[in-house]
Structure 1
Amino acid sequence: MLNHLRRKLTWNYSTWFFITLLIVLAVLFLLVKSMLFETANEDIQDILHYELEKYKGQDAIEVKPEASPSLYFSVVLSKSAHSIRGVQPAGKDAQTFSKFVRKQPCCRSEGKLKNLKGHFGDEMHIIYASARIDKNSTLFVGKNISSIHEKIEHWFFSLSLIGLAALMISVIMGDRLARKAMKPIIQNIEGQKKFIADASHELRTPISIFSASLEVLENEERDKLSPFSQETLNELKDEVRQMNGLVANLLMLAQEDAGQLKMNKESFSFAELAGQLVHQYERLYEGKRQIALHVPDDKMLVEADRVRIKELLHVLLDNACKYSVLGSSISITVQKEEGRILSFTVEDKGAGIPAEEIPYLFDRFYRVEKGRSRQAGGAGLGLSIAKAITDLHDGTIKVSSWPGEGTIFSVRLPILANIL
């Protein structure tokens, strides 16, 4: 449970830390990209203004290729855009640009980005703008910003590497924060476990003395007790039995926490053990519960801790009897599976368990119906004991339930005996 909680905290911390860094990196990338393109846009507007000023007032527009620096393209089109009056500078890239602008409308004072295929098949990234020189001529200017595009790609690649590093840092930081957050939780849980273990040991002696005193009182004063006193004595004995069971369960769970829960393996018939428990419960409920046992093999030998397996069956059968509808049937189905797996289910036709309660069923002291603790008996430790016994035998226990229909507990244990 603690490992699951630590992993969950690590995941949460790492995720939020990484998302925060990712947002920062994304903002940096977009900010730099925006600044570079804004600079390019300002440049192309300055170029457009410069070229317009150069041609203003000329009666006949004539452009010489060598008249313009090679830092940008300048194309002058006729009104019909079918004839090019001038292209500068000369070169294949300029020709590519001039072919492109012949298909573009006028006018665009703001720079616009466009990817063109260069003369050698390479991609050329340009930003261009346009304006009218006079009623018969249109000016297009463009600038090759492939170097800026490469800078953006390099910037993106660098930020991606930083993002990968941030991911690893996020996991490390998340794990450290989770461990730090877990320290007080672990200390609290360890303190609770120690208290339960110590209290259980300390309670055994006074409960044993109290139980022995009740036995002596009953043996010596049986004939002198009034009916009311006899009833009170019986109630006290029942309470002592419940306390003994509670202390035994707490001690078992304390041993599991300390890793000291031992298993005394022996070979026995699972079918016989289950049959004995079924007969006991049928007598206990005086026919008010119908329990059906389905076993494929009368023997079904297993190698396990007989006492623990009996307790496991007792917990599941006791729950089924307590929470099933009066007169309804309870079914125990046992099967053999490959790999020495013995599986069995305990099914009742009770009120069922809400889906939101199922994840907490095996928690200690947890009860679905809090108000029925005293009426039903027990302290909410039964299923915790069942889970501990299943884990001790390297098995699994699962629950399926449908409100208003019933509940099925499914257990798989690798305990079938090897028969040569």
Structure 2
Amino acid sequence: TAADSSTDSLIGLLSGIGAHVAEFLERRRAENLTVELARNKDEYLGLVGHELRTPITSITAYVEMLRDTDPAAAAEEVPDLLDVLSRNSDALQEIVDRLLDLVALDSGHTKLIREPVDLTEVVSAATEAAQPAADAAGLNLTLHLRPDTTVAGDAARLRQVADQLLDNAVKHTPSGGRVTVTLTRPDPATAELTVTDTGMGIPVEDHPRLFDRFYRSQRTRDRHIPGSGLGLPVTLAIVEAHRGQIRYAPSEAGTQVTVRLPIA
């Protein structure tokens, strides 16, 4: 039946996700842990387990619901169940991918491709990709570009930075708000990418923890804004690997994030 086929596909998907998690754990064991990480590994692994448990629990529950679905009602009920499973699978995939990113960046095993990268193209593409989500959220997304902003770096990783900053801004800005993306050269040696939003802002007490792994503010949780708490830590690691800097200027009335990178 359609329900059985969907269930089999979902079980296959879960097996693939499980293999991905196993790969992460195996890679983690293979790392030479620093003294500091070894001292804090119990806390770190506890955080990993906590973050993975939430989507896994939901996926497991909905798979059981699919198994119990009356074939006569499958056509009506299965699509909704699949939507929930898809969202939770995506959340789990995001956590695992970000964890693998952090492992690779922390260990130095990720070799950035050092080549001239036109940030104008990178930022334009990221903004274009974010436009549908901004439109769906009722936001005004604007882009201001400065030409001649070529840096030495890894285009794919820099695109990841731009995507993350835009994703954060769009998710945290209510309908009717604005997200502004600006690429400038404040001095001859520096390119500067700034993403500004008129979103809900970040309480002062949360500022020191913005780049902590798995950290999500209570306000974000209360409003059920999706996220893994790993996006900014990964972004910071990528920027620093490019010998750049990231500056976060949150307030109660919106947020501004600026990434500074050396010109090639």
Letter in 2 for 1:257: D
2:262 maps to 1:411: no
**Counterpart-to-counterpart distance in 1, 2:81 and 2:154:** 37
1:230 pairs with 56, 76, 79, which one? 79
Aligned match of 2:126? 277
1:347 pairs with 187, 190, 196, which one? 196
1:196/1:254 contact within 8 Å kept: no
**Counterpart-to-counterpart distance in 2, 1:187 and 1:195:** 13
Decide which structure has the larger Cα Rg and report it.
1
Cα displacement string for residues 383-411 of structure 1 (whole angstroms, at most 9, x for unaligned residues): 111111111111111111221x2111111
**Counterpart-to-counterpart distance in 2, 1:324 and 1:196:** 27
Aligned match of 2:40? 189
Cα displacement string for residues 274-330 of structure 1 (whole angstroms, at most 9, x for unaligned residues): 122222222123351111111121x63333111211111111111111111311111
2:251 pairs with 398, 402, 409, which one? 402
| Alpha-carbon distance, 1:270 to partner | 1.6
| Alpha-carbon distance, 1:243 to partner | 1.4
**Counterpart-to-counterpart distance in 2, 1:296 and 1:365:** 34
2:176 maps to 1:327: yes
| Alpha-carbon distance, 1:237 to partner | 2.3
Letter in 2 for 1:286: D
Aligned match of 2:206? 357
Letter in 2 for 1:188: R
Q: Check 1:342–1:373 CA distance in 2 against 1; reply closer, same or farther (3 A cut).
A: farther
2:118 maps to 1:294: no
Give the unaligned 5+ runs of structure 1. 1-182, 215-223
**Counterpart-to-counterpart distance in 2, 1:193 and 1:255:** 16
**Counterpart-to-counterpart distance in 2, 1:259 and 1:374:** 36
| Alpha-carbon distance, 1:344 to partner | 1.5
Q: Check 1:253–1:196 CA distance in 2 against 1; reply closer, same or farther (3 A cut).
A: farther
TM-score between both structures, scaled by the size of structure 1: 0.45
Give the unaligned 5+ runs of structure 2. 1-33, 64-72
Identity %: 29
- Partner of 2:88, secondary structure, is helix
Aligned match of 1:381? 230
Q: Check 1:371–1:342 CA distance in 2 against 1; reply closer, same or farther (3 A cut).
A: closer
RMSD: 3.1
Cα displacement string for residues 85-131 of structure 1 (whole angstroms, at most 9, x for unaligned residues): xxxxxxxxxxxxxxxxxxxxxxxxxxxxxxxxxxxxxxxxxxxxxxx
1:282/1:291 contact within 8 Å kept: yes
TM-score between both structures, scaled by the size of structure 2: 0.69
2:120/2:145 contact within 8 Å kept: yes
Q: Check 1:186–1:305 CA distance in 2 against 1; reply closer, same or farther (3 A cut).
A: closer
**Counterpart-to-counterpart distance in 1, 2:122 and 2:79:** 35
2:133/2:170 contact within 8 Å kept: no
| Alpha-carbon distance, 1:355 to partner | 2.3
Cα displacement string for residues 55-88 of structure 1 (whole angstroms, at most 9, x for unaligned residues): xxxxxxxxxxxxxxxxxxxxxxxxxxxxxxxxxx
Letter in 2 for 1:318: D
| Alpha-carbon distance, 1:244 to partner | 1.5
**Counterpart-to-counterpart distance in 2, 1:389 and 1:248:** 14
Cα displacement string for residues 339-386 of structure 1 (whole angstroms, at most 9, x for unaligned residues): 532111111111222223211100111112266278211121111111
2:245/2:261 contact within 8 Å kept: yes
Aligned residues: 211
**Counterpart-to-counterpart distance in 1, 2:156 and 2:223:** 26
1:290/1:330 contact within 8 Å kept: yes
Q: Check 1:319–1:229 CA distance in 2 against 1; reply closer, same or farther (3 A cut).
A: same
